Chains A and B, each alone.
Chain A
Amino acid sequence: MAKTGMERLEELKMDIYKCIHCKACRFAYSGEPDREGIGEFAGKQGTVLYEGMVDACPAGIEYGWEAFWNAGKIWIARSILTGDLEFTEEVRDVILPCITCGQCSAQCENKIRTVDIIEALRAACKEAGVPMIERHQLIERLTKELNNPYGGKAEERLKWAKDAGLEKYIGNKDAKIGYFIGCTASYRQMEIAIATCKIFEQLGINFRLVEDEVCCGSPFFRVGAVDTAQELMNKNIEAFKDLDLVMFSCAGCYKTLTNDYPKWMTEGKLPFKTMHAFELISRLITAEKIKFKPSKELKGKVVTYHDPCHLGRHMALEMEQEIIEESKNLMMDSRKIKQKINEWYEVPRIVLRQLEQDVGIKFTEMYRIKLDSFCCGAGGGVRAGYADFSLKTASLRLDEANAVEADIITTECPFCYTNLSDANNQYEHGLVVYGLIQMIDEFKLLDITEKPTLKEILSMKE
């Protein structure tokens, strides 16, 4: 794969030129205008009709101009390639407020890799000498200095583990399974990191917390600072290279190491397998090795689930692209795509349905879910660069949870968790936000029938 933004844009030329400006990419359920839904709801961010096609591009909804919707950006990319447009701050300011949620790509009948294009555009913009916005420059500076964009001390990355009595796992040389915590769980939502470790402990998993872990690089892949991203990538690959499997509790980190690293590595492939912790829980339920204990506090609570974009849609679209790449007869293989994507989205739902059965929660889906899920607003460098817009987007998502009368909204990404929590407080949605693993740990729900062996865990990713 190309190593600069402009090279990548050239590589994606066929994708860019496939765009016919049909605007299907604006909507969730773009092919289902008479899909039954839950009706109209007046939320904190206005009234939305949750039926049929619903506007689902956060930047388009916020800013309105064609340039902020995906198709407009694809034609900006084409204009750059043809020389009809040059990179300027005007271009930067239009291509940056995109959360890179991938909704557009999911709706595209021509299978355009829109997120790749937007990220390449940003990288090329930076390479052309257009400065990053101040907030992005700040997080890049912080990360180069401290290995994380939050400004936390590098040496305190694993402080939460020491404080929680999990020190023995730091640098645990015997372990073949590593846990990549990520910056948000290390410095902001430590309860998620602690909960994940406690679950691993209960399951008897011998794991390692890697001292040399640094930021996964996701913010920098997204905003176009690919040099910085690749530096971080190389550090992480070196730090984790002797592990067989690396587990994640962060959707963004998981997607970055699983999908982005292999594309940007100059040689070889990823030396370890990757798995998100929710996948482990789900597969153990399917294998009947675990279930859940009842909980008085949670019984009867209406719980909804927010599909994190990086964990849900991005992984699903990557699966689709892999099948397309390998296929000799895509018409016949297209059913495989649907099946694989459906199976992937079932992973958290297996957990939620088990919780419903064992714990007594009432699991209720929002209107926009799975491949059509609406973003939390945090990704793509938007939380750092355009905080108001980011939180408004999260509030739009929480309106949808309010519309189904949820008490609790769960998700499986600390970044989604952060943004949804902050918007919940700012806009007073009255919900409780939980990470799924966090909820399982906090309410002591795990009921283990049989602990999995290392071999069983490793075989889950074969």
Chain B
Amino acid sequence: MTRGLLLVLSLVCALAGPASAQTDPPPQLVLNPKVEITYGEPANAAFKPIRERLKANQALEQLSSLLGPLDLPAPLKVQVVQCDAPSRPYSSVTGITVCYEQIAKIEETALKAPPNNVATAPQMAVAAFIQVLLHETAFAIIDIYKIPVWGRANDAADRLAALIMLQFGPQIALKVVYGAVGFFEASERTWTGSDFASATSPEAQRYYNYLCMAYGWSPDTFRGAVAQGYLPEQRSWRCPNEYQQAMTAFSATVMPHVNTAKLGQVYVNIPEITLP
């Protein structure tokens, strides 16, 4: 799975950057035959370049490879389409969907982020896409394997996504986590009154949840999160327990469905990117 995440990074970087930025020949991907991928033809011409970049960089093929170690009991659709909506949550019918609208919005928000953000704009764009992809993938995993979920479902999906982000070494973890939380910070709006009735947590809560998982995974790697004041000390004390709790739950509920013999079949590549 470690190399799998790197593959997702590769996928996202390929998505965000021009196809020509990847000079190495495309990897020979080992796909999951149960994953059915679709690059939807967008009606909005503005999204066509996004689709072409995705296809050129085998974005969904790489996600299929990432899911390779999972023993899927039935076909799983994974698609990038024009949704005519900001996003489309996972469902057992439509599968995992990332909307062209989401990708465009991610890039727009990242580019408008204030300069004092915890991450650069390209880093945010890459990591936000990873976060969305892993968040939706988490919902798919929870649904497919009927995994019991305590806590709010969206937070559980975030913790599962964070866990995956953190399994691939310090460099990847730093880049992706700071990028993802930087994007949450850049996306923040003011929550009042009945806004709090939402089943989704405020961006600031998600910011701290991801940082806490990361700090809990490795206080040494993420010591800067506390030192720089991104994560309050009072929260940080219990983060190792939070991480351990999520990891224990992952091991108990998800790992039984992972074919560990296939973990080594995932290709790893992280190209540098620039935003359009």
A binds B: no
